[in-house]
């Protein structure tokens, strides 16, 4: 899980990828819909999506000619939980 967490943290360190996740947290989107929110080429967005996918932060599903992406929020929860445990960090309720 530690290697997975490193990949997650690296993926989250980029502003474009964070904005992509913000879009996907609302609903799943196809690549062309995601591209419409950026002043970037489709291959550049696809590269960012590939990094997010390898980190486990998004999943994709091909439907016809389009590939749809959805946010996998539990990946972050599991990663942070394992890191907190490894570092003996306990969250306290107020």
Averaged pLDDT in 10-residue chunks for the chain of 94 residues: 81 96 96 96 96 96 95 84 72 67
Contacts of 60 (CB under 8 A, 6+ apart): 49, 53, 67, 68, 69, 70
Asked if residue 43 belongs to a domain, the reply is yes
d(CA 22, CA 51): 15
Q: Are strands 58-63 and 29-30 parallel, antiparallel or unpaired?
A: unpaired
pLDDT at position 94 is 63
Global pTM? Answer: 0.84
Asked if residue 93 belongs to a domain, the reply is no
What domain range includes position 65? 2-86
CATH code of residue 70: 1.10.10.10
d(CA 80, CA 9): 10
**Structural contact between residues 66 and 31, judged by C-beta atoms closer than 8 angstroms:** yes
Count of the separate structural domains present in the chain: 1
DSSP state of 7: H
Asked if residue 25 belongs to a domain, the reply is yes
What are the Cα distances from residue 4, in Å, to 11, 51, 57, 87?
11, 12, 10, 16
Structure tokens at 44: 């550049």
pLDDT at position 80 is 74
């Amino acid at each position: 899980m530690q290697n997975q967490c490193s990949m997650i943290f690296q993926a989250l360190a980029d502003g474009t990828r964070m904005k992509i996740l913000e879009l996907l947290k609302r609903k799943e989107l196809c690549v062309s819909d995601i591209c419409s929110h950026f002043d970037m080429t489709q291959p550049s967005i696809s590269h960012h999506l590939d990094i997010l996918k390898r980190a486990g932060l998004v999943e994709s599903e091909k439907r016809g000619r389009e590939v749809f992406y959805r946010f996998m929020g539990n990946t972050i929860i599991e990663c942070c939980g394992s890191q907190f445990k490894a570092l003996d960090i306990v969250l306290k309720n107020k």
